[in-house]
Structure 1
Amino acid sequence: MSQTDRDYSEKRDYIRMRVDADVTLIHAGDLIPAVCIDLSSSGMQVRAARSFQVGDKLNVRIDSEHAALKGLEAETEVVWVTQQDAGSQKLGLTILKMN
């Protein structure tokens, strides 16, 4: 069963951690600054100033502020999109692979 086939309540069973962290989205070689709003073991919610569509594949990089800690890198897929003010979007990303 794919992430999009699960019912809403099952998707909400994952614990979400609010992070409000600056991230970099990488799409077709472009680096796009964004903000990770929350993060779970299976996905994340991100706010970006650039438009994406459901099904787009994005690499997400969250750099660590501490030299001793490695940042997070993940391959993701856009599973939902909500338009925001000033042309920005909130994106639901499912994590396909952690790098």
Structure 2
Amino acid sequence: MAQPPVDYSEKRDFIRMRIDAEVSLLHAGQVISAMCIDLSSSGMQVQAPQRFQVGDRLEVRIDSDHAALAGLHASTEVVWIADQPGGAQKFGLRILAMH
């Protein structure tokens, strides 16, 4: 049985996991609360009330609610942006290093 063709936007090198988790972004001495929409082994999609530019470096923290599981702390770089209504912004972050 033939499979329907897969749209190119669905072809990814890394599997993305939708997580909808609160994250803290550290940029230029500020801590910004944001929402991580999805996460892969190489990056993440985030929505924040503050605007960033491609090339900005951000530290990202996702805290864990479970004592047995460590949270995530990563150095990242903004690789794409999409403005949202009301001044918010969605953007893609490439993970440069995990801490």
TM-score of the pair, normalised by structure 1: 0.88
Number of aligned residue pairs: 91
- After superposition, give the CA deviation of every residue in 1:49-82 in whole Å (9 maximum; x if it has no partner): 0000000000000000112221000000000000
Distance 1:91 1:26 in 2: 15
Q: Give the letter for the 2:49 counterpart.
A: A
Q: Which runs of 5+ in 1 are unaligned?
A: 1-7
Cα deviation, residue 13, structure 1: 2.0
Where does residue 63 of structure 2 map in the other structure? Answer: 63
Q: How does 1:86-97 map to 2 (within 5 A)?
A: 86-97=86-97
Q: How much identity, in percent, do the aligned residues show?
A: 68
Where does residue 25 of structure 1 map in the other structure? Answer: 25
**Structure 1 stretches (4+) deviating beyond 6 angstroms?**
none
Distance 2:68 2:76 in 1: 25
Question: Higher Cα Rg: structure 1 or 2?
Answer: 2
Distance 2:88 2:71 in 1: 25
SS in 1 for 2:76: strand
Question: Which protein is richer in helix relative to its size?
Answer: 1
TM-score of the pair, normalised by structure 2: 0.88
Q: Which runs of 5+ in 2 are unaligned?
A: 1-7
Cα deviation, residue 86, structure 1: 0.6
Q: How does 1:1-99 map to 2 (within 5 A)?
A: 12-99=12-99
SS in 1 for 2:67: coil
SS in 1 for 2:68: coil
